[in-house]
């Protein structure tokens, strides 16, 4: 065993530069591979579009009760139309005919409005022009 160890020791001493560059090449290859994997993860995150986020909010959200869909929304969700167009036709903002505040459709306050009392607005400006103010308990509404 001592003889083999001595041969390896002399070989490594004679080839230090080659060993260094070979190790460097292997490490750079591993580093490049990991960077590629990381960029793929970030690329997949970026592919989650507004349609998927909106659809998740309106369909089966683990954190909120499903919103009752109108007939146009139900048809779109069943594959007979474009989901995003159906959701937009209902409006980006919702208010109660009897209330004073407007909400995002995913807000807790919007979910408490009876379907027959809901009125929809495409823009904040439309809701404000109709005399509504932003709901204070609606997360994300004031940041939009």
Q: Note down pLDDT in tens along the chain; length 144 residues.
A: 788 889 998 999 999 999 999 999 999 999 999 888 887 776 565 555 544 454 455 444 444 433 444 444 444 444 433 333 334 456 789 999 999 999 998 888 888 899 999 999 999 899 999 999 999 888 777 765
Residues 24 and 64 grouped into a single domain: no
Residues 38 and 77 grouped into a single domain: no
Using alpha carbons, list the distances in angstroms from residue 65 to 1, 58, 72, 74, 111: 72, 9, 20, 16, 8
Residue 138's domain comprises 92-144
Tell the residue number behind the tokens 């004073």, with chain if given: 100
Residues 70 and 102 grouped into a single domain: no
**CA neighbours within 13 Å on the CB side: how many for 61?**
19
Q: How many domains does the structure of the chain reveal?
A: 3
Pairwise CA distance, residues 127 & 119, whole Å: 9
Tell the residue number behind the tokens 């505040």, with chain if given: 101
């Amino acid at each position: 065993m001592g003889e083999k160890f001595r041969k390896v020791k002399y070989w490594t001493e004679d080839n230090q530069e080659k060993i260094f560059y070979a190790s460097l090449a292997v490490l750079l290859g591993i580093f490049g591979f990991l960077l590629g994997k990381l960029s793929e993860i970030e690329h997949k995150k970026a592919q989650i579009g507004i349609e998927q986020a909106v659809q998740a909010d309106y369909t089966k959200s683990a954190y909120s009760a499903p919103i009752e869909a109108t007939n146009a929304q139900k048809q779109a969700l069943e594959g007979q139309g474009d989901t995003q167009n159906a959701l937009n036709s209902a409006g980006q903002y919702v208010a109660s005919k009897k209330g004073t505040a407007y909400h995002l459709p995913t807000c807790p306050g919007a979910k408490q409005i009876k379907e027959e009392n809901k009125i929809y607005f495409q823009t904040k400006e439309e809701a404000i022009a109709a005399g509504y103010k932003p709901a204070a308990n609606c997360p994300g509404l004031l940041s939009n």
